[in-house]
Amino acid sequence: MKNLLLAGSLLFATVIAAQPRIISGPMLGPVELRDAKVWVEVSPEVKTVSLQYNKRDEAKSKTVVYKGALGNEFNPIQFTIGGLDFNTTYQYKILLNGKPTSNGGEFTTKDLWQWRKPAPDFNFLTGSCSYFNEPVFDRPGTPYGKDSSIFEPMAKEKAAFMLWLGDAWYTRDVDYYSEWGLWYRASHDRAVPVMQNFLKAMPQFAIWDDHDYGPNDIGKNYILKETSREIWKKYWCNPSYGENGQGTYTMTSWGDVDLFLTDDRWWRSADRMKDSVDGKPNPEKRMLGKQQMEWLKNSLLYSNAVFKIITVGSQVLNPVSPFDKWWEFPAEYDELMNFLKEYKINGVVFLTGDRHHSEIIKVDRPGTYSLYDITVSPLTSGTHVFGNAEKNNPYRVLGIDQQQNYAKFSFSGPRNDRKLTVEYFGVKGEKLAEWSVNEKELKAP
């Protein structure tokens, strides 16, 4: 009898596992004035996937049918919903094989404020370093992944979007040189149950760093970089992914803020390459690379945004950091700093992750305004204590160590007096620290 019961249980489990189902999602991508993107991953058994949507106050609905390939081991797909009205809330749900599921959500398109109204007050969330334990593949000892319930208060925030600052998942030793392993890691970590409400709560944007790109601290020499980029394009709905089939950089705008999402891995020279040669900055050691730097310069020149936020996986300004930072790529670093000063690019703030602590670094520049590097880390990975040269870092104006955290960036105030406020929150959503800067403090004389 026990054997019969066991066989029956196994058969039931096999039947359930073989049912068409949603693996993870839905996740919101960019939501603009007249279109929106929705992402979802489905099981190999699914034959058709569609998205049904309607205005929240209307019953009449429309359907978008996914026309790409299905039936693969990993099936991340994206829907683009076009022809929407601005400043309007829509509801949507996912259909598998023509049958409605309980998976869905809602979104509100942007408002057409330009030339009509003052820039809107808004906020977004941000953070980096999200590690989910998988003991069979993790390194021995104390689990590196910490309390993942941090995504529960984040899901309840009324934010315009979430910006991931790198290491949204962590490849393991078994993944590094396995194309299948890289696909598996993205799929596995995206499907963690505690993430699901957060993914659909607000639009999601992301940059990568080493751990969701490949092995620790690796750069342009990674032999599976092409696969990694393909996976990135499948698992995130960013507005674009570099240019000419290279890199993952892009940008987005909200209100009077432009955000430049850079790629610090695709062109990155080895960190151990010499910073200088014959007493001069080594022109061969680069982090962003020439193509991306040209794009960034032209984008900054084109931007009329009050705040221009440059996001980078590695810290940018911290002179005393013992770890990888843009400051250790002096030829490229100096090129950008000289450009910002020469062209009097106002409103620049750097937003970074990676460090497993949060802090705000201030670096003064003779003859122009000071620059800030705002670091937000970690979401769920291990933390550490400020130590050695960083213990009493003279460039730090705010610091949080030994605590998981996320940040909220808020933009408020009348024209010509806009303010950026940064708030840090802990695992339960409790406020840990706050700092702000006025647009007037970020203007060249």
Q: Is the predicted pLDDT of residue 242 greater than 80, yes or no?
A: yes
Judge whether residue 10 has pLDDT over 90: no
CA 201 to chain centre: 15
In this structure, are residues 228 and 222 in contact, taking their beta carbons and an 8 Å threshold? yes
The CATH number covering residue 88 comes to 2.60.40.10
- For residue 114, tell me if it sits in a domain: no
Structure tokens at 225: 């970089």
Q: What local confidence, expressed as pLDDT, does residue 17 receive?
A: 55
Q: Please name which of 114, 54, 117, 60 lies closest in space to residue 89, comparing C-alpha atoms.
A: 54
Name the domain count of the chain.
2
Token pair listed for 149: 């319930």
Are residues 239 and 157 part of one domain?
A: yes
Long-range contacts of 83-89 (CB under 8 A, 24+ apart): 83/34, 83/35, 84/33, 84/34, 84/35, 84/36, 84/109, 85/34, 85/55, 85/109, 86/33, 86/34, 86/110, 86/111, 86/112, 87/111, 87/112, 88/55, 89/55, 89/56
| CA–CA separation, 211 and 265 (whole Å) | 10
- For position 323, what pLDDT does the model report? 87
With pLDDT > 90 as the criterion, what percentage of the chain qualifies? 95
Same domain, 101 and 134: no
Q: Which amino acid is at 43?
A: S
> Could you tell me if 327 and 238 lie in one domain?
yes
Tell me: pLDDT of 11 over 60.
no
Kindly state whether residues 165 and 24 are assigned to the same domain. Answer: no
d(CA 154, CA 195): 10
* Cα distance between residue 345 and residue 340, in whole Å: 5
pLDDT tens sequence across 329-379 = 999 999 999 999 999 999 999 999 999 999 999 999 999 999 999 999 999
pLDDT at 16 over 70: no
313: left (phi over 0), alpha (psi -120 to 50) or beta: alpha
pLDDT tens-digit series, residues 124-181:
999 999 999 999 999 999 999 999 999 999 999 999 999 999 999 999 999 999 999 9
Q: What does the alpha-carbon distance between residue 276 and residue 334 come to, in Å, rounded to a whole number?
A: 12
Instruction: Give yes or no: residues 132 and 92 share one domain.
Output: no
* 10: in domain: no
User: Does some domain include residue 9?
Assistant: no
Measured distance CA(195)–CA(162) in Å, rounded: 13
Residue 3 — very low, low, confident or very high, per pLDDT cuts 50/70/90? Answer: low
Same domain flag for 86 and 131? no
Confidence of residue 249 (pLDDT cuts 50, 70, 90): very high
Domain of residue 148, CATH code: 3.60.21.70
DSSP letters, 203-254, are -EEEE--HHHHSSTT--TT-TTHHHHHHHHHHH---S---BTTB---EEEEE
Together in a domain, 86 and 128: no
Residue 9 has pLDDT above 60, yes or no: no
| Of 108, 132, 147, the domain-final residue | 108
Q: What is the pLDDT of residue 279?
A: 92
Please give the pLDDT value at position 399.
Answer: 98
Helix then strand then coil, % of the chain, to nearest 5: 20, 30, 45
In a domain, 5, yes or no: no
Tell me, yes or no, whether 80 and 167 share the same domain: no
Does one domain contain both 155 and 104? no
Confidence check: pLDDT of 320 > 50: yes
Range of the domain at 241: 122-442
- In degrees, to the nearest 5, what angle opens at C-alpha 80 toward C-alphas 259 and 124? 30
Rounded CA gap, 48 and 275, in Å?
Answer: 53
Residue 16 vs residue 215, higher pLDDT: 215
Task: Tell whether the model's pLDDT for residue 73 goes beyond 50.
Answer: yes
Q: Is the dihedral of CA 181, 187, 192, 194 positive or negative?
A: positive
Does 2 fall in a domain? no
Q: What is the pLDDT of residue 13?
A: 43
Spatial separation of the C-alpha atoms in residues 409 and 348, rounded to whole Å = 14
Q: For the residues 294-320, what does the mean pLDDT come to?
A: 98
Residues 196 and 223 placed together within one structural domain of the fold:
yes
Instruction: Give first-to-last CA distance, the chain, whole Å.
Output: 85
The pLDDT score that the predictor gives to residue 123 is 98
One domain, residues 88 and 170: no
If asked whether residues 241 and 360 sit together in one domain, one would say yes
Residue finishing a domain among 79, 108, 137: 108
Q: pTM for this one?
A: 0.95
Residues 109 and 36 sit within 8 Å (Cβ to Cβ): yes
For residue 3, being part of any structural domain is answered with no
Answer yes or no: is 1 within a domain. no
Tell me the pLDDT tens digit for each residue of 185-220: 999 999 999 999 999 999 999 999 999 999 999 999
Q: Which of 61, 79, 108 is the last residue of a domain?
A: 108
Longest distance between any two alpha carbons in the chain, whole Å: 85
Mean of all residue pLDDT scores within the chain: 95
Beta bridge partners of 63: 52
- Asked whether residue 330 is domain-assigned, the answer is yes
User: Average pLDDT of 238-248?
Assistant: 98
